[in-house]
Amino acid sequence: MDYRFVGSTGLEVSELCLGTWRFGDESDEQTSHRILDEFVAAGGTFIDTADVYGYNRSEEIIGTWLEGQSRDDLVVATKVYAEAGPGQLVQGAGRKHILTAVEASLRRLRTDYIDLYQVHVFDDVTPLEETLSTLDGLVKSGKVRFIGASNYTGWQLQKSIDLSRQHGWEPFVCLQPYYNLLGRDAEWELLPICRNEGAGLIAYSPLAGGWLSGKYRRDLGAAPAGTRGEVDGSWQRRDTDETWRVVDALLAVADEAGKAPGQVALRWLLQRPGVTAPIFGARTPEQLTDNLGATGWTLSDEQMDRLTQASDRPLPYPYETQALPQFQRRLRHPA
């Protein structure tokens, strides 16, 4: 497995990040520990969780596993914002909740520091200055090494970075957005901001909830029984020409490359500019092994172009206007 730095920081992580939202829910502790062991054995160092995953169980399971590991060799990321248990109120990103939540996460993870602490979603009630100054204090205290954000819009991310720069606070060093071949909205503003500001990008849902795994095909006519497409009704939402254009291209490239469709979808993200690491989930060790097959090889430029073109969508305003040829400026050099 290759390794990359998170944005312009010196924080080095594996090119794939193990997402653990299924730990404590669909994967019991023994299975989860086996998945973690095999991920590390394959060279993985980057593990992502959140206090809300499994209502604390994901952090607890990682914590019992961490006790037998070399802590300095791992990068553990978690998040703060939502309800941490059934029936509990969503507390957001205010100072009181962050300070309480970080102590609870440290206790569950059985560690004295968190490598990357992320705000799970933008808090439109709490002043940004309160959130950012509190996070800065956690870094200064040593309880947190780096901070990041997830599910922010472009202006929310840029304003957060600008405020931190203005006050001399620790900035967000990465963003965790939804990004895959079927969902490329992050390219409109979020990716450019991250590249411009030196922030990393760790993409979640790289397989679009299984839609890029190869289990859904145009000729099936309906979601296979028991799949997420049947259970959550996503077949009805996804059954469009746009979806099948992407899936058909993915299947064709996978066949050419001799790889599974999910491995190709992950590989496409790994080769996209500005992406630090896709976050993939694994319910079983077998799923882990399959996803790890995205490393150690590359898609050709022609294959990348085909996938990118198949998943392109018309730009909305004002991006469409700014992309018109008559508004493009090019540097002119004297002959």
Give domain status of residue 138, yes or no.
yes
Q: Which residue has the tokens 């145009």?
A: 218
The two tokens of residue 36 are: 């973690």
Give domain status of residue 240, yes or no.
no
From CA 143, how far away is CA 230, in angstroms rounded?
43
53 labelled catalytic: yes
HSE of 167 in the Cβ direction (CA atoms, 13 Å)? 18
Give residue 331's pLDDT. 66
Q: How far apart are the first and last CA of the chain?
A: 46
Beta-carbon contacts of 85 under 8 Å, excluding residues fewer than 6 positions away, are 55, 56
Give domain status of residue 290, yes or no.
yes
Give domain status of residue 58, yes or no.
yes
Helix (H, G, I), strand (E, B) or coil at 140: helix
Contact in structure between 108 and 56 (CB atoms under 8 Å): yes
The two tokens of residue 266 are: 């992950």
Give domain status of residue 101, yes or no.
yes
Give residue 219's pLDDT. 85
Give residue 83's pLDDT. 72
Give residue 124's pLDDT. 95
How many domains would you assign to the chain? 1
Give residue 75's pLDDT. 98
Give residue 332's pLDDT. 65
Q: Exactly one of 53, 81, 117, 179 is catalytic; which is it?
A: 53
Cα torsion 286, 292, 294, 295 to 10°: value is: -150
Q: Is 284 exposed, middle or buried (0-12, 13-18, 19+ CB in 10 A)?
A: middle
Give residue 218's pLDDT. 86
Give domain status of residue 197, yes or no.
yes
User: Residue 174's domain is classified under what CATH number?
Assistant: 3.20.20.100
Please list the pLDDT of the chain residue by residue as tens digits (335 residues): 999 999 999 999 999 999 999 999 999 999 999 999 999 999 999 999 999 999 899 999 999 999 999 999 999 999 999 876 677 777 899 999 999 999 999 999 999 999 999 999 999 999 999 999 999 999 999 999 999 999 999 999 999 999 999 999 999 999 999 999 999 999 999 999 999 999 999 999 999 999 999 998 888 888 788 787 777 778 888 889 999 999 999 999 999 999 999 999 999 999 999 999 999 999 999 999 999 999 999 999 999 999 999 999 999 999 999 989 888 887 666 55
From CA 64, how far away is CA 233, in angstroms rounded?
36
Closest C-alpha to 211, from 245, 188, 171, 187: 245
Contact in structure between 106 and 60 (CB atoms under 8 Å): no
Beta-carbon contacts of 267 under 8 Å, excluding residues fewer than 6 positions away, are 259, 294, 297, 298, 299
The helix/strand count (H/E) of the chain reads as 13, 10
The widest CA-to-CA distance across the chain, in whole angstroms, is 70
Give kind and range of the element (H or E) at residue 335: none
Give domain status of residue 270, yes or no.
no
Give domain status of residue 305, yes or no.
no
Give residue 217's pLDDT. 87
Strand (E) positions, 257-307? 277-281
Q: Which range marks the domain in which residue 39 is found?
A: 3-216+275-298
From CA 150, how far away is CA 105, in angstroms rounded?
17
Contact in structure between 76 and 47 (CB atoms under 8 Å): yes
Closest C-alpha to 1, from 13, 14, 20: 14
Give residue 85's pLDDT. 67
